[in-house]
Chains A and B, each alone.
Chain A
Amino acid sequence: MNAKIADRIATAVFVLIALLLVFILVGLVGYLMWRGLPHISWHFLTSPPAFSEAGGGIGPQLFNSIYVLFLTMLLTVPIGVGGGIFLAEYAGDGWLTRFLRSAIEVLSSLPSIVVGLFGLLVFVQYTGWGYTILGGALALMLFNLPLMVRTSEEAIRSVPRDQKEASLALGVSHWRTITSVLLPSALPGIVTGAILTAGRAFGEAAALMFTAGMSSSRVDFTDWNPFSPLSPLNPMRSGETLAVNIWKVSSEGLVPDAREIAAGASALLVIVVLVFNLLARFLSRWLYKKMTASSS
C-alpha cells in the first residue's frame, strides 16, 4: 500500500469519526428537543411542581439552578484564578508544588457522588445547616475548582514570555504585571475555563442531591430580601435544581406526566447551557477587546 492510498484512507477515517461526533451531538440534542420542546411553555417555566396531578411546572427548580450556579461561580472563579496565578507565577518546582498538583489531580478525578457525600458530611451535618443552596454551591465549588485552577494556569502560561519580560523591564512590579499584562491576555482562556465549569455545575445532579436537597422549600417570589426565610435569594434554604429534579421525577415521580416533565426539563437544561456558552463567548470577546485596546 503506498503512502497516497494510506493518506486517503486515514483522511476518510478521520472524516468519518468527525461526522459520527456531529451525528451523535445533533441526534442527541435533536431528540431532546423533539421530546421536550412541546412541553415547554410559560406555565411550565414559572409554576411550582404539582404533587399528584398533571400540569406541574419547574419554576423554582429553574431559579434554584441559576442561583446555585451563580453562587458556585462566585466562589469558584476568584479562588480558581488565584490558584492558577499561584501555580503559573509563584509556585517554584519544590515538593510542595508537586504535592499541590497531585492533590488537584486527585480532586478532579473524584466522582461527583463522592463529593456530594463529602458535602453531606461537612456542609449539611457538621455545620448543622441542613440541606442548603449554599452547601450545594460549596460542594460544586470543590468539584469544579480543579478544572478552574488548571485552565487558568494554562491560560496564564500560554501568554508569551516576552510580554511579561517587557513589563518587568519597565520596572513594573510582578503583581501589576500579572493583573495588567498577563490576565488581560489570558482572559479568553480563563473565560473558557469558567464556561466549562459553569456547564458542569449547571448539569450536575449527584453532588447536589445530598447538599442542596431534593425538595424545593416554599418560596415567595415577591420577597427578594436574602435574609428572609421565604426569599428565593436566601442561600440557607434547601433548593432542588433542574438536574436533580429530572433525576427525581423520572425515578420516583408520582405525577402522571412525570416523563413529559423530565423531557421538558432536559430540553430546557440543554438550551440554557447552550445560551450560557454563547453568552460567555460573546462576553469574553467583548472583555478582551475592552481590556486590550482601552481608551482609558
Chain B
Amino acid sequence: MDCVSEVLSGEATHQPRWFGSLGAPQALQERLAERAQDVPAVKAETDVAIETRDLHVYYGKNHALKGINITFYKNEITALIGPSGCGKSTYLRSLNRMNDTIPTAKTTGHILLNGEDLNRPDIDVWALRKRVGMVFQRPNPFNKSIYENIAFAPRFHGIKKKSTLDDVVEEALRRAALWDEVKDRLHESAFALSGGQQQRLCIARALAIEPDVLLLDEPAAALDPISTAKIEELLLDLKKRYTVIIVTHNMQQAARISDRTAFFYEGELIEYNPTHKLFTNPDKQATEDYVSGRFG
C-alpha cells in the first residue's frame, strides 16, 4: 500500500484511509452494510465447499504457513489479504496442490473438498486440479489459438468430439463474458488479445473443465482499471455457480466483491470473518491496523 508517507506524517484517523482514494467511499460503505445481512458468521455444514484443517507449508526450512483453518462456503467469494510474503498465495496454491511442483515444498494437514482429503499422498492430483481451477496473477494464455487455449484441457480430460468441444468452448467463453469479443476470431493467436481479454480467457479456460472451486491469484494485479472492473463484475457473476477464492493486494477490491475475508500475516491466519465485519469492526487490532493502512 502507498500509505507509508501518511503513516510517517502521523496523521491518524479512524476512517480507513483507502476509503478516501476510492472516490465514492459512501457507496462502498453502503455496499458493505447492505451485504451484512447476507453473510452470516457461520453457515450450515452442507454449504461448505472446501476447508483446510491445520494446514502447514514448508519451503525447505522456511515455515511458510502455520496451521491454517479456514472454511469456504459455496457460492461465495472469499478474499485472502495480507502484506507481501504473508503466505496468502502459498495458501491458495496449496488448495489445488500446485505447491507440489516446487521441489522443496512440503505440505501437512488436511484440505477437505466435499469431505475428501485432497492432501493425501495417494490422491490423483490431475483429477483434483480439474475440480479446483486456478487463474494466475499475470495472464498466461497458451501460445495457441483462442479456441485451442480452451479446448486443450477438456480434450485431455476425454472430450474428443469436435461438436462437443465447440460447445464447451462457447459456453466457457460466454461464462467469462468474452464470447462476443472473440467469436469471430477463435482461431487467431491468444496473444493478440489485450491483457484484460487474456485474463478473461484464462478464466474461461479454467471454467471449461467444470471446476467446483475457482482459485484466483491476484487476477487483476497486472490490468488497467477498466479491465479490473470487468473481471470483478465477472467474479460476482461467477459466484452464482462456483465457489470463488481470490488473493488480492487491493483492499478496495476485497471490500467490493468478497463475502468473506481472511487476513494473513507472517504465515498465520490472523482473522477470518465476513467482509463487512472484517473491514468495519474487526476482532483483532492487527487487522484494523492493516485494513486502515497503518502497515503493510
Contact A169 B96 (CB under 8 A): yes
The interface residues of chain B lying within 8 Å CB-to-CB of A128 are: none
* Residue from A93, A294, A296 with most neighbouring chain B CB atoms (10 Å): A296
Query: Taking the complex as formed, is B144 at the interface, i.e. its CB lies under 8 A from any CB of chain A?
Result: yes
In the complex, which residue of chain A has the Cβ closest to the Cβ of B190? A293
Say yes or no: A166-B136 contact (C-beta < 8 A), given A171-B128, A171-B157.
yes
> Does B179 touch A at the CB level, under 8 Å?
no
A185 to B189, CA, bound (A): 13
Contact of A295 among B103, B140, B145, B205 (CB under 8 A): B145
Q: Is the CB of A181 within 8 A of B142?
A: yes
B140 touches A170 (CB 8 A): no
Instruction: Please give the distance in Å from A14's CB to the nearest CB on chain B.
Output: 34
A292 and B153 contacting across the interface, CB-CB below 8 Å: no
Q: Are B142 and A166 in contact (CB-based, < 8 A)?
A: yes
CA distance A293 to B127 in the complex (A): 27
Q: Chain B's nearest CB lies how many Å from the CB of A171? A: 4
Residues in B with CB closer than 8 Å to A295 are: 145, 147, 187
Which single member of B101, B130, B147, B188 contacts A170 (CB below 8 Å)? B130
When each residue 187-207 of chain B gets 1 if its CB lies under 8 Å from chain A and 0 otherwise, what string results? Answer: 111000000000000100110
A168 at the interface (CB under 8 A from B): yes
| Contact between B140 and A166, CB atoms less than 8 A apart | yes
> Does chain A have a CB within 8 A of B148?
yes
**A-side interface size class:** 20 to 34
Q: How far apart are the CA atoms of A173 and B151 in the complex, in Å?
A: 15
Name the residue on A nearest B141 (C-beta).
A166
Choose among A160, A163, A170, A185 the residue that contacts B129 (Cβ–Cβ < 8 A): A170
Instruction: Please tell me if B37 contacts chain A, counting CB pairs below 8 Å.
Output: no
* A172 and B142 contact, Cβ closer than 8 Å, known pairs A165-B98, A293-B188: no
Q: In the complex, are the beta carbons of A92 and B103 less than 8 A apart?
A: yes
A176 interface hit (Cβ, 8 Å): yes
A172-187 with Cβ < 8 A to chain B: 172-173, 176, 180-181, 184-185
Contacts of B140 in A (CB 8 A): 160, 162-163, 165-166
- Residues of A contacting B19 with CB < 8 Å? none
The answer to whether A169 and B148 touch (CB under 8 A), given A185-B143, A292-B189, A293-B189, is no
Known pairs A170-B153, A173-B156, A180-B152; A292 contacts B143 (CB<8 A) = yes
Q: Could you tell me the distance between the alpha carbons of A171 and B126 in the complex, rounded to whole angstroms?
A: 4
For window 127-176 of B, CB contacts with A under 8 Å fall at 127-130, 133-134, 136, 138, 140-145, 147-148, 151-153, 156-157
The B-contacting residues of A in range 267-296, CB under 8 angstroms, are: 292-296
Assess whether B209 is interfacial by the CB under 8 Å rule: yes
Q: Do B136 and A165 touch across chains, with their CB atoms under 8 A apart?
A: yes
A172 to B187, Cβ gap below 8 A?
no
Interface residues of A in 204-255 (CB under 8 A from B): none
Docked complex Cα distance between A173 and B189 (Å): 23
In the complex, whether A167 has a CB less than 8 A from a CB of chain B is yes
* Cβ contacts B101-144/A at 8 Å (1 or 0 each): 10100000000000000000000011111100110101011111
A165-B101, A181-B142 given; A172·B152 CB < 8 A:
yes
Residues of A within 8 A of B152 (CB): 167, 170, 172, 180-181
Chain A hits for B129, CB < 8 A? 168-171
A294 contacts across to B, CB distance below 8 A: 144-145, 148, 187
| Known contacts A176-B156, A181-B142, A169 near B98 by CB under 8 Å | yes
- A185 and B202 CA atoms in complex are apart in Å by 18
Which residues of A lie under 8 Å from residue B141 when comparing CB positions? Answer: 166
Residues from chain A with a CB closer than 8 A to the CB of B147 are 295-296
CB within 8 Å of B: which A141-195 residues:
160, 162-173, 176, 180-181, 184-185
Contacts of A293 in B (CB 8 A): 144-145, 148, 187-189
Chain A residue nearest in CB terms to B187: A295
B138 close to A162 (CB less than 8 A) = yes
Taken together as a complex, chains A and B put the C-alpha atoms of A176 and B129 apart, in Å, by 15
Interface centre among A162, A168, A170, A184 (most CB of B within 10 A): A170
Q: Which residues of B contact A164 (CB under 8 A)?
A: 101
- Beta-carbon nearest neighbor of A176 in chain B: B156
In the complex, are the beta carbons of B134 and A169 less than 8 A apart?
yes
Give A115-142 interface residues, CB cut-off 8 Å to B: none
Q: Are A170 and B145 in contact (CB under 8 A)?
A: no
Complex Cα spacing A41 to B222, Å: 62
B128, closest chain A residue (CB): A171
Q: How far is the CA of A181 from the CA of B148 in the complex (A)?
A: 11
Q: Which of A92, A168, A173, A296 contacts B98 (CB 8 A)?
A: A168
Q: Which of B96, B142, B151 has the most chain A CB atoms inside 10 A of its CB?
A: B142
B130 touches A171 (CB 8 A): yes
Q: Which of B58-90 contact A (CB under 8 A)?
A: none
A selection of 18 A-B contacts at a CB cut-off of 8 Å is: A162-B138, A165-B101, A165-B136, A166-B205, A169-B98, A169-B129, A169-B134, A170-B129, A170-B152, A171-B125, A172-B153, A173-B156, A184-B143, A184-B144, A292-B189, A293-B148, A294-B187, A295-B145
Identify 15 new A-B residue pairs, CB closer than 8 A, beyond the known A165-B98, A169-B206, A294-B187. A93-B103, A166-B136, A167-B142, A167-B152, A167-B153, A170-B129, A170-B152, A170-B156, A170-B205, A171-B153, A173-B126, A292-B145, A292-B189, A295-B145, A296-B148
Ranked nearest first, the 3 interchain pairs of A and B with the lowest CB-CB distance are: A171-B129, A171-B130, A170-B153
